[in-house]
Chain A
Amino acid sequence: MTIQILRSQINDYQTYTLADEEMTLLKALIKIKATQDATLTFTAGCRASVCGTCAVRVNGREVLSCAHKVRDGDMIEPLNYHPVLRDLKVDKQPAQKTLLNATAWLHRYQEAVLTHKDERFTERQTDCILCDACYSACPVFAVNPDFLGPFALTRAYRYSADKQESEVKSIVERVQHNGVWECTLCSGCTLVCPKGIDPKMDITMLRSLVVQHGYEDRTFAQMGFGTPDFGSEFGFDSNGEF
């Protein structure tokens, strides 16, 4: 089989030929580097979908190299909206800065009674491996590089929903600017998450939390009343709730 990989130096696709056997894309990349082209650059770690290092785009869709079975004709590219450092290796620092901007951590601990149900409530959100697949799939970054983005908002939501957090308000304040209201609810993030996390739902939950805290519901502002069809194009039913 042959696959094509976008090389940064030539800014073009390079074709590589592989044996026709079942293997993960990561295994294929390692083989290429070891036997065909030592200059091919990519990042990888655990091989078991948990270290978050090896996300790339295959045929336009974000995947973990270690969890994608490579197929004839696959086009491999680096993640979107990340500065490309070399070939498939991208700079994750700007994206990771969203965690800082969202203050996605436990602000102030309070002791609480927790149950198995509480654990399950944000179990999925804490499965996040920071692979940046969702960030790459988020169209908002095309127009707003300061957007907090899916993984930071999911993480902010996870802490806001923690009964041990006594300062939920601090999180609520941070996620409003370039945050929950800028999201178009397109589901791009949810579709590509290798851990089955649903950032779109988390953002929706954060929106209601924000409103509960007495802040303006900017859903409507975002929908742009008076500009017909704008809402529906972004996954909204503009007549639905109204």
Chain B
Amino acid sequence: MTDVLIIGSGGAGLSAALAVKEQGASVIIASKSTPTTAQTSMAQGGMNAVLGNVEEDHISMHIADTIKSAHGICDENMVRKMCADGPLAIAWLERLGVPFSRLDNGKSGTGSIAQRKLGGASAKRACYAQDYTGLKILHTLYDNCLKEGIEFLDDHFLLNLVTEDGTIKGATFLDIRSGEVVQIDAKSVVIATGGFGALYHGYTTNAFGTTGDGIAAVLRAGGSVSDMEFVQFHPTGLKHSAILVSEAARGEGGYLVNSDGERFVDELSPRDVVARAIFAQLEQEKEVFLDVRHLGKEKLMELLPQEVALCRLHEQIDPLEALIPIKPVAHYTMGGIDVDDALEVNGIKGCFAVGECASAKIHGANRLGGNSLLEIVAFGRFAGSNATKHAMFARTTPANDTQLLKDKDYIAHIFTQEHSVNFYPIRQRLGVLLYHKVGIVRQNAKLQEALSEVIAMQVAHARMGIVDHAKAHNQNLVEFLEFSNALLLTPTLISAAFSRDESRGAHFKIEFASEDNERFKKHIVLKWKP
């Protein structure tokens, strides 16, 4: 029985694993894909940490910026902890060998790390590695996991958590390679499975697999979710492919213009403000573009080479010479698994959650750019360390096989299930539905319509099933399970949005356009009743 089982191999999972290993405990990382393919690789802009390398900065300013962006509904203790951990997290990454961008200031160690200003920040605070910050952090973490001999279980799709008397005992997985359902016993579990942005299929920067599998497993195990209504829309996704153009494009001085050539918003406002301003232009049937031409070829190729290449490939335009057509797209889910201040899942002892899948009450109604990489590293280590402590005193008797047998039956059942309805077009329809009715601008009547449509989808789910009946490497089955998780999560997103009769941060409701602190300065926490 391993001390700590980590589910998910993104930045949060790998940081947690390294922390477990540092403390001498045993650790296994299980994930549905292979390491380094995680969403973390897509984070570009940077990682916040108060180093003051470029200009004066203070942890109190980072805390204040985070709370302001969260619109008050965050846990100030958690925010304080994360911001204070920033410089330590960067120092840790520096020692692991992350190739950060550098200044020419003659300083050693973290003193030479370059920092830039992202939207909503009061100082140049985001440490970066060109526009591949997440990628380079993720790969360096992976190199260090190999160095430490950490065991990876690839192709393991999380099915359910195994609990006994409210305490975690491990988890069950579909081993995609063999098609078998397996149980991994563990004294502690860290869920680091990422957010649920892929619910907005076709309107999200997220990978297809960002379906909130860990969040759904917690709901099924009796845990709760919070802040589900807060979905951050990135202002600048490419119009046709929804691929992200980094905030750095605006941070470095890019303009937003409409089809009349007018600038209509302060480009460095928080993401929700910019996204709504763009959405309003689109509603008026105007097109919106990002203009980076004035930055010049040299600066663009140095600072945003990735963006330039993606525009050429997916939009067939050259940003050095032409305007980049954009639309706001779902980018980050602030809410998720409800955890306490030790990141332990409320209701399941010994089970921790960290990163985008968790609702650690730091992002509140809107995440500050550069705080997600900080969260996965700083809190990833915190979760790993807390999970190790729990493992030290946990009982070592493994769970019985009740859950395992149940899940074996379930998977076997899917193979016999009717499949008269193809779920792939429904997955797409869910994306369109959520973008238009549970998106940047919300309205109670439309939320209700969305909920009825989702319930209809849930009813039809019994007739969806799979066409591919191969046992091993059945990606059709995996995608069906992912979509099932999406369908379980969607009502929590809609219900939370429906309950919040106000506008706050990323949640904007037409009929209640302002904040209502008296009634809603709180978190909406939901559970699932089967």
Q: Which residues of A contact B (CB under 8 A)?
A: 22, 24, 33-35, 38-39, 41-53, 67, 69, 85-86, 89, 92-93, 96, 99-100, 103-106, 109, 111-119, 122-123, 126-130, 155, 158-159, 162, 164-165
Residues of B within 8 A of A45 (CB): 33, 37, 207-209
* B135 CB-CB contact with A under 8 Å: yes
Q: Which of B36, B144, B422 contacts A130 (CB 8 A)?
A: B36
Q: Is the CB of B473 within 8 A of A111?
A: no
Q: Which of B132, B177, B208 contacts A127 (CB 8 A)?
A: B132
A interface secondary structure, majority: loop
Q: Is the CB of A35 within 8 A of B104?
A: no
Residues of B within 8 A of A123 (CB): 99, 130
Report the Cα distance A198→B313, complex, angstroms. Answer: 22
Residues of A within 8 A of B463 (CB): none
Residues of A within 8 A of B241 (CB): 47
Q: Which residue of B36, B38, B144 has the most chain A CB atoms within 10 A of its CB atom?
A: B36
Q: Is the CB of A34 within 8 A of B424?
A: yes
Residues of B within 8 A of A34 (CB): 422, 424-425, 428
B237 to chain A, nearest CB (A): 11
Q: Within residues 92 to 145 of chain B, which ones have a CB less than 8 A from any CB in chain A?
A: 94-97, 99-104, 106-109, 112, 114, 129-130, 132, 135-136, 139, 143-144
Q: Is the CB of B475 within 8 A of A41?
A: yes
Contact flags B181-209 to A (C-beta < 8 A → 1, else 0): 00000000000000000000000000111
Report the Cα distance A103→B147, complex, angstroms. Answer: 7
Report the Cα distance A38→B100, complex, angstroms. Answer: 42
- With an 8 Å Cβ cutoff, the count of chain B residues facing the other chain is 61
Q: Is the CB of B473 within 8 A of A86?
A: yes
- The contact sample of 9 A-B pairs, CB cut-off 8 A, is A38-B466, A46-B42, A49-B309, A103-B147, A105-B143, A112-B108, A119-B99, A126-B136, A158-B99
Q: Which residue of A47, A92, A99 has the most chain B CB atoms within 10 A of its CB atom?
A: A47
Q: Is the CB of A52 within 8 A of B99?
A: no
Residues of A within 8 A of B392 (CB): none
Q: Is the CB of B424 within 8 A of A35?
A: yes
Q: Which residue of A34, A42, A45 has the most chain B CB atoms within 10 A of its CB atom?
A: A45
Report the Cα distance A41→B106, complex, angstroms. Answer: 52
Residues of B within 8 A of A165 (CB): 97
Residues of A within 8 A of B313 (CB): 24, 49, 67, 69
* B300 CB-CB contact with A under 8 Å: no
Q: Which of B112, B136, B147, B207 contacts A113 (CB 8 A)?
A: B112
A214 to chain B, nearest CB (A): 25
Report the Cα distance A99→B41, complex, angstroms. Answer: 19
Q: Which of B41, B154, B466 contacts A46 (CB 8 A)?
A: B41
* B414 CB-CB contact with A under 8 Å: no
* B470 CB-CB contact with A under 8 Å: yes
